[in-house]
Amino acid sequence: MTFRPFLRTFLVFAWLGCASSAALALDAADVTPLGGDDFDAKSAAIDKLIATRDAASLALLKALANDNVTATDAGEVLLQDGDTARDAITGKPVAADVAQAAQPVTLNNLLRSKVAGAVSGLQLDSPDLETRRAAIAELLKNPDPSMKPMIDAARAKETDPTLKRRLDTLWAMTALHNPDAALRLEAAKLVAARHDLDMYELLRPLVAKTASGAWAEPDARVRAAAQAGIEALDSIQRRSEILGTLFAGLSLGSVLLLAALGLAITYGLIGVINMAHGEFLMIGAYATYVVQTLVQHYAPGAFNWYPLFAIPVSFVAAALVGAVIERLVIRHLYGRPLETLLTTFGISLILIQATRTIFGAQNVAVENPAWMSGGVTVMPSLILPYNRIAILAFSLIVVGIAWTVLTKTRLGLFVRAVTQNRRMAACVGVRTARVDAWAFAFGAGIAGLGGCALSQIGNVGPDLGQSYIIDSFMAVVLGGVGQIAGTVIGGFGLGLVSKAIEPFWGAVLAKIVVLVLIVLFIQKRPQGLFALKGRSAEV
């Protein structure tokens, strides 16, 4: 007696399951519209494929996503596989002449997006964790409310905590326009809690008004939750912009510091306005390019470490050129600033043309090693590039080396002595001419290190140094001639001020404003931020 009720219940559910499967099973009429020109009918056919959710529908959706679906004049839809084709419903191969006569099925961008979303949605049931993760990531890029049933089912079954949270966000993105106000409220809170700036466009319609002046979202609680989310995103955006501007200023300042550091040494020691200093940057950058080329040719396995090889080469190459220029030309022009300025300007033109002759007029490509590619995500909308971080750290290391040389070595002692009082240093036996040569070569070498760093963030061409010479002089004059600490503050200060002004007035006006500010500052304090000490300096 007890067996019959269970038997009847089993037969009823079995019948319902068979009826449901039959109702959802695909037939030729369901997919025939795919071969037509009516995109509304095509959309309805795709919706039918999504609702069916069987092996045949998934195969057809994947084929549509890959443009491997054709249709005959009789309305038969085929899955194309190279030179062969099979029926999309039965899976049976079709004759070669029928396959050749079939025309590709075309989809507009809206339908392509729906198909891609459907393929990802159907993969939410995959037993493979990585497949589900990729499917969720794809759906998050372009959430489609029609995918909500699949997302609901996946959300109920997902066991991985991380994917569960991402599915909750995906569900919320598709439930914001649900007729149930309670669901919309839950969805608005989930979207706002994600703190993703891409969610702006999902929350804005909830707090907007229609043309008649009525709220687009009738429920006040949903509007309040959406407004709170928008305000939180605005706060994140402001913090991100401030941090981004600060990092951009420090990054620009590090570049200016590398360009100005050597100039501070030579200008402070010798008093030479060296208009060819920018070309030492260019020499260091091209030395890096040569090292990269040699490593690629002779030791490709060590490519990721070529910047470490390029650093000493850049320093030596620029230092040698600087020493030659000082010995042949500049030593004969001490105390004649106008002639020195014109001569060094001519030297810069000679170096630029020589570089064009050797390497060509076009820019050369210097690639970042793997460890300098990409960036670190600090905030949802702020990514700090590794190459910029590396250059910032490198500039501080170079400053430390220069400070050590000038304060802890015999050469540094002589340089400081000559800078403060050249005549007295000569009287006590310091060979000032040799100190001038060594200091000029050292300053040129530091500029070469700056060129090595610049090669990792920009184009390397014959005119590279011309872009930094004026800014370098401004950093030196602002900080105080011959003062490393002043040059550091001047370089970073110019970078921060320039990047703070650029969003409002643009890069060109920002440079003009910075120049005006420096002129006004020098009017009040001609010696710069840090004045030299010594009898000669005081005169």
Neighbours of 483 (CB within 10 A): 22
DSSP string, 223-261: HHHHHHHHHHHHHHHHHHHHHHHHHHHHHHHHHHHHHHH
pLDDT at 533: 54
User: What pLDDT is stored for residue 379 in this prediction?
Assistant: 75
CA of 18: how far to CAs of 14, 25, 26, in Å? 6, 10, 14
The span from the CA of 115 to the CA of 538, in Å, is 78
Integer Cα distance of 315 and 448 in angstroms: 5
The number of beta carbons lying within 10 Å of the beta carbon of residue 384 is: 18
* Rounded alpha-carbon distances, angstroms, from residue 307 to 238, 295, 389, 447, 510: 36, 10, 15, 16, 33
pLDDT in tens, the chain (539 residues): 444 544 444 443 343 344 333 344 667 777 777 777 777 787 787 777 777 766 777 777 778 777 788 888 777 787 777 777 887 777 778 777 777 777 788 787 777 777 777 777 767 777 788 888 887 777 777 776 667 777 777 777 888 888 877 777 777 777 777 788 888 888 888 777 777 776 777 788 888 888 787 888 888 888 888 888 888 888 888 888 888 888 888 888 888 888 888 888 777 667 777 888 889 999 999 999 999 999 999 988 888 899 999 999 999 999 999 999 988 888 888 778 788 888 988 999 999 999 999 998 888 988 888 888 888 888 767 788 888 899 899 989 998 988 888 888 888 888 778 777 778 888 888 887 788 888 889 989 999 998 999 888 878 999 888 878 888 888 887 777 666 778 888 888 888 888 888 878 877 788 788 888 877 887 777 766 665 554 444 44
Return the closest-CA partner of residue 276 out of 337, 241, 322: 322
Task: Give the other-Cβ count within 10 Å of 361's Cβ.
Answer: 12
State both tokens at 82. 């190279």
- The Cα 365–Cα 101 span in angstroms is 49
How far is residue 422's CA from residue 271's CA, in Å, rounded to a whole number?
12
Here the contacts of 235-240 (C-beta below 8 Å, separation 24 or greater) are 236/195, 236/197, 236/379, 236/380, 236/381, 237/197, 237/381, 239/379, 240/197, 240/379, 240/380, 240/381, 240/382
pLDDT value, residue 309: 92
Exposure of 217 by Cβ count < 10 A (0-12 exposed, 13-18 middle, 19+ buried)?
A: buried
Q: How far apart are CA 244 and CA 22, in angstroms?
A: 58
Tell me how far apart the alpha carbons of residues 232 and 226 are, in angstroms, rounded to a whole number. Answer: 10
| Cα 397 from Cα 11, distance rounded (Å) | 80
**Structure confidence at residue 531 (pLDDT):** 59
**pLDDT of amino acid 482:** 60
Instruction: Write down the H helix ranges in 299-383.
Output: 306-328, 337-359
- Taking CA atoms, 130 is separated from 11, 124, 142, 152, 306, in Å, by 39, 10, 19, 19, 35
Distance between CA atoms of residues 449 and 262, nearest Å? 10
Q: Please answer whether residues 488 and 392 qualify as being in contact, where contact means their C-beta atoms are separated by less than 8 angstroms.
A: no
Residue 400, CA distances (Å) to 89, 107, 231 in order:
73, 62, 44
C-alpha–C-alpha distance, residues 77 and 324, integer Å = 78
Residue 351, CA distances (Å) to 251, 272, 479, 503 in order: 27, 18, 28, 35
Spatial separation of the C-alpha atoms in residues 122 and 118, rounded to whole Å: 6
What pLDDT was estimated at residue 20? 39
- Overall CATH class of domain 239-538: mainly alpha
Q: How many CA atoms within 13 Å lie on the side-chain side of 363? A: 9
Q: Which residues pair with 77 in a beta bridge?
A: 71
User: What is residue 418's predicted lDDT score, i.e. its pLDDT?
Assistant: 79
Which residue type does 300 have?
Answer: P
User: What pLDDT sits at residue 481?
Assistant: 64
End-to-end CA distance of the chain, in Å?
120
Tell me the backbone φ, ψ of residue 71, rounded to 5 degrees.
-140, 140
Looking at residue 6, its pLDDT comes to 43
269 touches 415 (CB < 8 A): yes
**Cβ contact 425:237 at 8 Å:** no
DSSP 161-207: HHHHHHHHHHHHHHHTT-S-HHHHHHHHHHHHHT--GGGHHHHGGGG
For the chain, how long is the longest CA-to-CA vector?
A: 125
